[in-house]
Amino acid sequence: MAEQATIRRPRRSERRKSPLAQAATIGFVFGVLALYLVAVGLFLMFHARWIIVDVLSLGHATLLTIGIATGIAVARRQAELTPSAIRLNSCLAGAIGGGMLAILLLAMTLIDLRTVFIALSRDLFQALTFHVGLLGGMAILIGAGAALAVLGAVLSRCPPKIWRPILIGVLAVAFFGVFQELLQIMMQTNAVVDAVRDLLYTWDGLSLQGAIIIFAVVAGGVFIAGELKRRGVVLVRTETPVQRRRMLAIRIILLVLGLIFIPVLAGSYIGQVLLLVGLYILMGMGLNLEVGLAGLLDLGFVAFFAVGAYTTALLTADSTHALAAYTALPSLSYWAAMPIAVVMAIIVGVLFGIPVLGVRGDYLAVATMGLGEIVRVLVQSDFAAPLLNGAQGILQIPKPKLGGFELADPVDLYYLTLVASAVAAYFAWRLENSRLGRAWMAIRDDEDVAQALGINLVKIKLLAYGLGAAFAGLAGSIFATMLTSVYPSSFQLLISINVLALVIVGGMGSLPGVIVGSVALVGLPELLREFGEYRYLFYGAALIVMMRIRPEGLWPSRIRRRELHAADEEVPEADVAAMEPLEATGANLRRSGS
pLDDT at 91: 96
Pair 431, 483 in one domain: yes
Cβ–Cβ contacts within 10 Å for residue 69, how many?
17
Range of lowest pLDDT (10-19, 41-50, 55-64, 346-355) = 10-19
Please report the DSSP string for 570-594 in residue order.
Answer: PPPHHHHHHHHHHHHHHHHHHHHH-
pLDDT digits (tens, 9 = 90+) for 93-110: 999 999 999 999 999 999
Helix (H) or strand (E) holding 51: strand 50-52
Pair 129, 228 in one domain: no
Range of lowest pLDDT (274-283, 302-311, 361-370, 553-562) = 553-562
pLDDT at 310: 93
How confident is the model over 282-294, as a mean pLDDT? 93
Euclidean distance between CA atoms 467 and 121, whole angstroms: 56
| H helices present in 433-492, as ranges | 435-445, 447-452, 457-483
User: Do the Cβ atoms of 125 and 58 come closer than 8 Å?
Assistant: no
Tell me whether residue 298 is in a domain. yes
pLDDT at residue 289 is higher than 90 = yes
pLDDT digits (tens, 9 = 90+) for 440-465: 999 998 888 999 989 999 999 999 99
The percentage of the chain sitting over the pLDDT mark of 90, rounded to a whole number, equals 45
Tell me whether residue 416 is in a domain. yes
Among 435, 462, 491, the domain boundary falls at 491
Structure letter (DSSP) for residue 407: -
Euclidean distance between CA atoms 58 and 408, whole angstroms: 38
Cβ–Cβ contacts within 10 Å for residue 232, how many?
6
Question: What are the residues facing 206 on neighbouring strands?
Answer: 201
More confident residue, 417 or 575: 417
Pair 230, 137 in one domain: no
Structure letter (DSSP) for residue 77: H
Pair 206, 283 in one domain: no
Pair 151, 167 in one domain: no
Phi, psi at residue 52, to the nearest 5°? -120, 120
Residues 6+ apart with CB under 8 A from 402: none
Pair 456, 327 in one domain: yes
Range(s) of the domain holding residue 311: 279-491
| Most confident residue range from 18-32, 365-379, 493-507 | 18-32
Pair 321, 394 in one domain: yes
Amino acid occupying residue 542? A
Euclidean distance between CA atoms 348 and 476, whole angstroms: 14
The percentage of the chain sitting over the pLDDT mark of 70, rounded to a whole number, equals 89
Structural domain total, the chain: 3
Euclidean distance between CA atoms 280 and 495, whole angstroms: 9
| Most confident residue range from 145-149, 386-390, 398-402, 542-546 | 145-149
Pair 324, 465 in one domain: yes
Pair 153, 171 in one domain: no
Please report the DSSP string for 105-124 in residue order.
Answer: HHHHHHS-GGGT-TT--HHH
Nearest CA to 313 out of 350, 338, 348 is that of 338
Pair 153, 164 in one domain: no
pLDDT digits (tens, 9 = 90+) for 230-273: 776 655 555 677 777 888 788 888 888 888 888 877 777 788 88
pLDDT digits (tens, 9 = 90+) for 389-399: 888 888 889 99
pLDDT band at 6 (very low <50, low <70, confident <90, very high): very low
Cβ–Cβ contacts within 10 Å for residue 550, how many?
15
Q: What is the dihedral of CA 549, 554, 555, 559, to 10 degrees?
A: -40
User: Do the Cβ atoms of 411 and 268 come closer than 8 Å?
Assistant: yes
pLDDT at residue 49 is higher than 80 = yes
How far is C-alpha 558 from the chain's CA centre?
A: 20
pLDDT at residue 346 is higher than 60 = yes
Pair 427, 477 in one domain: yes
How confident is the model over 301-311, as a mean pLDDT? 94
pLDDT band at 422 (very low <50, low <70, confident <90, very high): very high
Euclidean distance between CA atoms 471 and 466, whole angstroms: 9
pLDDT band at 88 (very low <50, low <70, confident <90, very high): very high
More confident residue, 224 or 560: 224
pLDDT band at 520 (very low <50, low <70, confident <90, very high): confident
Euclidean distance between CA atoms 152 and 90, whole angstroms: 8
